[in-house]
Structure 1
């Protein structure tokens, strides 16, 4: 069913937002993981389809997700559009190649409540080549320790009202870094020190660690030029 009305998950406590463009190979694993969550909370799932030419929308509907259509302009636009259609008190942004652990919601909800946070991420596991562990360690042990932690777009849990007040994900390169830096200047954020998601190291497998780091370095240089 297409998610064309915001009140589609009006009873939900949490709305998952999953941007997806030609993700037929990865999306089933992502959505299957959401069906195994051990939680008493109500949650809805929104897949924001970026004008896919494969079976991405059909797969999303097969798993009971609501499909929101987007022109494939940018990952920031997809995430923001999904948030506009969703209505959960909390927004959980994950990517199509991300799988969540069964305790994802119970642990993050408990973590943000105990620490009075407006947003959080958690430690992650990155699959693929062994060199992906460098990126995994950077996220888990560097991003998490920054004064304003970087909450990666594939694992970002944020209170709806604060998200809307912050203006959402900005339309700049490395949009999740830009969002995290701006958001944390106004609201408390932190990392849950438990591995709650697993995500693909496919970029590293395709471009190598050096190529991947260079890619993100270039994006971050462009982000800084926009003064984010």
Structure 2
């Protein structure tokens, strides 16, 4: 295969239930462009890596402990995203979570917007699948995030040019890694949202913890992000 235009990067740990739908949506892109899918397996205890290979995705291993040895530190999703980016060959990197489904026109639509508006990175509208209370967070992502001076590009739906990604330093391995990355990227590069592209992602955290519990969870993560000086 020629060098891909786009590399989809999917972090996944114990995602055998959700991953097939995600990979099917990536496999079924309606495009003439070359693209690849990279699944970063977080040392899963289930069939996640086998499922990834079944869909012809490359599998990159993320160990449970840091390579510096003996600290007990478990690398997080920021590390997984970055490992996938380092492995990938695409001129553009499309970060999609293992419980996110994109439509067949996603690749061409996002690439078209980025090139047309000279953006280094973009996200788009989302639909949170789950309880009705998930609509509050959905509205925040769809209406508040794009209006920020440096828009937050959610990690489950982030389309970024390769050179901009690496010049920014990529996703850091800190809490709320997507906020940290988006704000750093937005200092130097133009970013935006596609108003007509829709992705569906799971609201399972809200179903499990409720809206208040989920908001508290992310507030704690953001406090830890700020303490880490990101």
On whether the aligned pair clears a TM of 0.5, the verdict is: yes
Distance in 1 (alpha carbons) for counterparts of 2:15 and 2:207: 17
State how many pairs are aligned: 220
Distance in 1 (alpha carbons) for counterparts of 2:186 and 2:33: 26
Distance in 2 (alpha carbons) for counterparts of 1:196 and 1:37: 14
Distance in 2 (alpha carbons) for counterparts of 1:174 and 1:10: 34
1:181 — aligned with what? 183
Q: TM-score, normalised by structure 2?
A: 0.94
2:56 — aligned with what? 64
> Is the 1:103–1:196 contact (alpha carbons within 8 Å) kept by the matching residues of 2?
no
Aligned match of 2:15 in 11, 23, 32?
23
**Long gaps (5+) in structure 1:** 1-8
Displacement of 1:164 in angstroms is 0.7
Aligned match of 1:225 in 212, 220, 227?
227
2:31 — aligned with what? 39
> Is the 1:118–1:188 contact (alpha carbons within 8 Å) kept by the matching residues of 2?
yes
> Is the 1:10–1:88 contact (alpha carbons within 8 Å) kept by the matching residues of 2?
no
Structure 1 counterpart SS, 2:90 = coil
List structure 1 segments (4+ residues) > 3 angstroms apart after TM superposition.
none
Displacement of 1:146 in angstroms is 0.4
Structure 1 counterpart SS, 2:209 = helix
1:206 — aligned with what? 208
Aligned alpha-carbon RMSD (Å): 0.9
Q: TM-score, normalised by structure 1?
A: 0.94
**Long gaps (5+) in structure 2:** 65-74
